[in-house]
Amino acid sequence: MSEADIRAERVKKLQLLKAAGMEPYPVEAHRDMSNAEVLSTFDELEKSKKKIHVGGRIMSRRGQGGIAFADIYDGTAKLQAVLQKSEMPEELFELFDAASDIGDFVEVSGTVFKTKRGEQSVQVHKWRMLAKSLLPIPSEWFGVKDEETRLRERYLAMLLDPELRALVERRAKFWQSMRSFLAERGFVEMDTPVLETTPGGADARPFVTHHNALDIDVYLRISDELWLKRLLVAGFPKVFEIGRIFRNEGQSREHLQDYVQLETYEAYSDMKKGKEFVKEMYRRVAKDVYGKYSFEINGHKVDLASEWPEIDFTEILKEKFSIDPLSCTEEEAIQAVRDAKIGPPDGGGEELNLPRAVDHLWKSLRKSISGPAFLVGIPVYLEPLAKRSAKDERIVERLQVLMAGSEVGKGFSELNDPQDQRGRFEEQQKLREEGDEEAQRLDTEYVRAMEYGMPPAFGFGVSERLFAFLEDKPAHEAQLFPLLRPKPSQGI
């Protein structure tokens, strides 16, 4: 039977319910216990013969003649409901048999008992519909097998796949653990703008939209960094935000355009202190969510409880490519990319400048690093928002967490010299004018805020990529509802 035929049959059953005087979508439910609560207090309920009201979705049903069984799931547990013609009004029994389907939400009232097989159940005295389903859910035994359907109709996959449901619960616990970690250390959660007139805080291409009321183009934020650092200027010493970030870039196993990110800033701290802060946070999350520190991630073995060595950016590029990123010319860096056969597919220099070429060289190396480790010694031209090193002004006080061949978190001693910041923004603006769409913009409003005085601070950001890595899944599979192209019939 086609889906359209099944829907037509269920619409007839909906009319049957109405004809019998039963509202198929009532306003209120009378449920007074969850299924999990029933099962945890079953012996007490059985002894007292207390009447209970439970509800949930029918996941399976069976029976014949004067008895029917239905497994009802309410999101906490599955509970068997037993309907017998001899134990309830006959017309209600017949209506259940004629008008209910797998997928319907129902409410049942009765007392608990154990069947001859010892299964904890509810002896139903009355039932009513809470929400009549018009489309059939797949069988529990087979679930949703088609990969596109699993992503497009994610709610069905969550309903039928216990492993996916557990992933969703771990994802919530992942962010809850970070919030708890920060709250215990006195950080205040903030809520900064998503729409901006000048996107900043990262090297990324933004999404553009139009604000009708103000009649201006605005951007979806690519980072909340510059807003949170304004809060340091405002006198808040420890702030963080867990929020949505939007970057109009490529998509891969690790990259999404729409994702959740944590950014945290602590005044009077720095990169050296920040290393311990980061290690503690990662270990705390791993322990809270998974109860372990060791993981298998994309072919790498990662132990968060081990030592986190430092890898010097400049030294590793010297060793692997015989090029010094602190003194090489743009032409030398581009030639190194060509010689190594990495970077843009056509090897053309027109798509590269010094920062992009050096970044391509580094990214070709990181794939073999299992970590955890800290990448340090990054050139100033790769990080316009970090403070220069006191030992060498050509590099910045920045660290990146290396794990399973990629970068999973970044932090630095925040640049708080407004004149240096303006100069670096101006260099970034030149790169934009030369065609680098990911270079940062000159944000004069942020520089003005900094001119009022910003304390020294350590800032750190990590996205949901870390969760995907700990799950050892592609980024889109670790999201609740990943973005997909609409079906042709849906349009946009």
Q: How many domains does the chain have?
A: 2
As beta bridge partners, residue 208 has: 219
SS3 133: coil
* 24 & 115 share domain: yes
pTM for this predicted structure: 0.88
Instruction: Write down the pLDDT at residue 129.
Output: 98
| Token representation of residue 112 | 């608990």
Q: With respect to residue 30, please indicate whether it lies within any of the assigned structural domains.
A: yes
Rounded to the nearest 5°, which phi and psi values hold at 482?
-65, 150
According to DSSP, residue 209 is labeled E
Output the pLDDT for position 330. 92
Helix (H) or strand (E) segment spanning residue 116: none
Q: Are residues 269 and 408 in the same domain?
A: yes
pLDDT of residue 346: 41
Under 8 Å between Cβ of 351 and 369: no
- Give the domain extent around 37: 3-131
Query: What Cα–Cα distance (Å) separates residue 328 from each residue in 288, 323, 332?
Result: 45, 7, 6
Q: What is residue 251's predicted lDDT score, i.e. its pLDDT?
A: 81
Q: Which of 158, 148, 159, 135 lies closest to 56, judged by CA?
A: 159
Is there a contact between 148 and 125 (Cβ–Cβ < 8 Å)? no
Listed residues 116, 131, 146: the one ending a domain: 131
Residue indicated by tokens 């260099």: 427
User: Phi and psi dihedrals of 106, rounded to 5?
Assistant: -130, 160
Q: Which of 91, 111, 131 delimits the end of a domain?
A: 131
Q: Domain for residue 354, yes or no?
A: no
DSSP label at residue 379: B
**Residues 6 or more apart in contact with residue 182 via CB below 8 angstroms:** 189, 238, 240, 264
- Check the CA dihedral 45-48-49-54 and report its sign: negative
Domain assignment of residue 14, yes or no: yes
Amino acid 147: pLDDT: 72
Q: Cα(469)–Cα(282) distance, rounded to whole angstroms?
A: 12
What is the pLDDT, as a whole number, of residue 491?
41
Instruction: For residue 43, give both structure tokens.
Output: 């012996």
C-alpha radius of gyration, the chain, whole number: 29
Domain identity same for 96 and 199: no
> How many angstroms separate the CA atoms of 235 and 237, rounded?
6
Nearest residue to 145 (alpha-carbon basis) of 133, 130, 132, 156:
156
How many CB atoms within 10 Å of residue 395? 22
Cα distance between residue 226 and residue 357, in whole Å: 26
Domain of 283: which CATH number?
A: 3.30.930.10
Q: Are residues 90 and 196 in the same domain?
A: no
Sort residue 265 into left (φ over 0), alpha (ψ -120 to 50) or beta.
Answer: beta
Euclidean distance between the first and the last CA atom of the chain, given in angstroms as a whole number: 30
Give yes or no for a cis peptide into 372 (omega within 30° of 0): yes
Same structural domain for residues 102 and 170?
no
Contact by Cβ (8 Å): 83, 127: yes
pLDDT at 151: 84
The answer to whether residue 342 is domain-embedded is no
475 HSE (CA, 13 A, CB side)? 19
Q: What confidence score (pLDDT) does residue 108 get? A: 97
Report the pLDDT value the prediction gives residue 16, as an integer from 0 to 100: 97
Residues 26 and 118 in one domain: yes
pLDDT value at position 347? 42
- Residue 52 and residue 58 in contact, taking contact as beta carbons nearer than 8 Å: no
For residue 116, tell me if it sits in a domain.
yes
Confidence (pLDDT) at 250: 80
262 strand-pairing partners: 242, 462
Q: For residue 427, what pLDDT is reported?
A: 87
344: helix, strand or coil: coil
- Give the model's pLDDT for residue 317: 95
CA distance 342 to 360: 7
Asked if residue 105 and residue 173 are part of one domain, the reply reads: no
Do residues 119 and 46 both lie within one domain? yes
Determine how many CB atoms are found less than 10 A away from the CB of residue 240. Answer: 26
Same domain for 168 and 69? no
What six digits make up the tokens of 53? 């009201």
Q: Which pLDDT tens digits describe the chain residue by residue (492 residues)?
A: 888 999 999 999 999 999 999 999 999 999 999 999 999 999 999 999 999 999 999 999 998 889 999 999 999 999 999 999 999 999 999 999 999 999 999 999 999 999 999 999 999 999 999 999 999 988 755 556 677 777 888 899 899 999 999 999 999 999 999 999 999 999 999 999 999 998 887 778 899 999 999 999 999 999 999 999 999 999 999 999 999 999 998 888 888 999 999 999 999 999 999 999 999 999 999 999 999 999 999 999 999 999 999 999 999 999 999 999 999 999 999 999 999 888 554 444 447 889 989 999 999 999 999 999 999 999 999 988 999 999 999 999 999 999 999 999 999 999 999 999 999 889 888 888 887 777 788 888 999 999 999 999 999 999 999 999 999 999 999 999 988 888 776 443
Query: Quick one: 221 and 281 in the same domain?
Result: yes
Together in a domain, 93 and 218: no
Report yes or no on 348 lying in a domain: no
CATH of the domain at 51: 2.40.50.140
- Supply the DSSP string of 381-438, one letter for each residue: GG-TTBPBPSS-TTBBSEEEEEETTEEEEEEEEBP--HHHHHHHHHHHHHHHHTT-TT
Pair (377, 229) in one structural domain: yes
